[in-house]
A = this chain, B = another copy of it.
Amino acid sequence: MSTWLQNAWYVAAWDAEVESAPLARTICGTPMMFYRKLDRTVVALRDACPHRLLPLSMGLREGDAIRCKYHGLKLGPDGVAIEMPMRNDAPNKRICAESFVTHERHRYVWVWIGDREKADPALIPDLWPCSTEGWVFDGDYYHVACDYRLMIDNLMDLTHETHVHSGSIGQPEIMEAPIRTRVDGQDVIVERWIPGIDAPPFWRTALKQPGQVDRWQICRFVMPAAVMIDVGVAPVDAGATLEKHDQGVRGMVVDFMTPETETSHHYFWGMARNFDTSDPSITAQLKRQQGVVFAEDKEILEAQQRALAANPDLKLAAYNIDEGGTRSRHIIARAIRAAEEVTV
């Protein structure tokens, strides 16, 4: 039993990461390779030639096909052999590399982990800020040598900002506002409302008006491995509420954690915003800032993973502040168990 859910969509790559040359990436323990066909749709195949297992990502693209670098077995985008190493041999259609269902949405290439026939694009997590008119979205890819769930814990509890990010985005005053954690179907929501404060410089600039503001931070875990963080400010008299707060300026941090192995993951960080959407310098500034913030998190998370190995007699404890992460882990574990029972 793995630590991640089967029969689910995971982000394999940013759309712009996949081009005609193969991209090798291990997703949920399985080596895969990705490339675009001439029509720009994305192919995902097991990154091992069905002949002698050489990574197909070392091969050469020919039209929509890939030719293995070792003996030249040529596979179509469905993974099925279309030319044998000896060109005169008739291709054996039973020779094929495992292929995976992919789908592009929200600027990501998604891959289905599980039974092909169950791969329904309707099941892709609704990361709406990545692809909604009036919002602009961009981000980066990072590799982290820790269990993907440690990153979910991290994101569902923003109290760590004070300590981990004391040199960058940490702000002790925020931590004094109470949080509320609730479950909404399979989502877990941790929300914090900070009424009537002076807006910090970034948000003041974004809002383009003086006066006190209400501020919010709402973390939402979305199965199987996403966290969206709704952040922003609105003028104090604009009537913004936790439920509805489009009166001011709003950003959505969108995080997806795709397991690579049990102790490493691919971290897709992005930020959407509904203000200054035509100003690319803000996009660049946000990405640059995230580079600094991420380096602080990576140091912590990878040290935590090493500590788990070095202290096998100790267990993670959960306090009040961890309720968001704990509930998210419970939902993942319950879904895994339910899937196991169906299978048995």
Residues of A within 8 A of B (CB): 26, 31, 46-48, 50-55, 58, 67-72, 84-89, 95, 153, 157, 159-160, 162-164, 175-176, 300, 303-304, 307-308, 310-311, 314, 316-317, 319-322
Contact = CB atoms under 8 A, between A and B. Distances in A.
A84 B157 CA distance: 14
Secondary structure type dominating chain A contacts: loop
Contacts of A47: 307
A308 B51 CA distance: 12
Contact of A317 (B52, B162, B311, B316): B52
21 contacts: A31-B307, A46-B311, A48-B307, A48-B314, A50-B314, A50-B317, A52-B153, A52-B316, A54-B300, A58-B300, A70-B163, A72-B159, A72-B163, A85-B159, A85-B319, A85-B321, A86-B159, A86-B319, A87-B175, A87-B176, A95-B317
Contacts of A314: 46, 48, 50, 53
Contacts of A157: 71
A300 B70 contact: yes
Contacts of A69: 163-164, 300
Given A53-B304, A303-B58, A307-B53, A163 B67 contact: yes
A299 to B, nearest CB: 8
Contacts of A153: 52
Nearest to A98: B314
Nearest to A58: B303
Contacts of A70: 160, 163-164, 300, 304
Contacts of A316: 51-53
A137 B175 CA distance: 51
Given A70-B164, A163-B72, A310-B26, A304 B84 contact: no
Contact of A319 (B51, B58, B317): B51
A98 to B, nearest CB: 9
B31 A72 contact: no
A50 B322 CA distance: 13
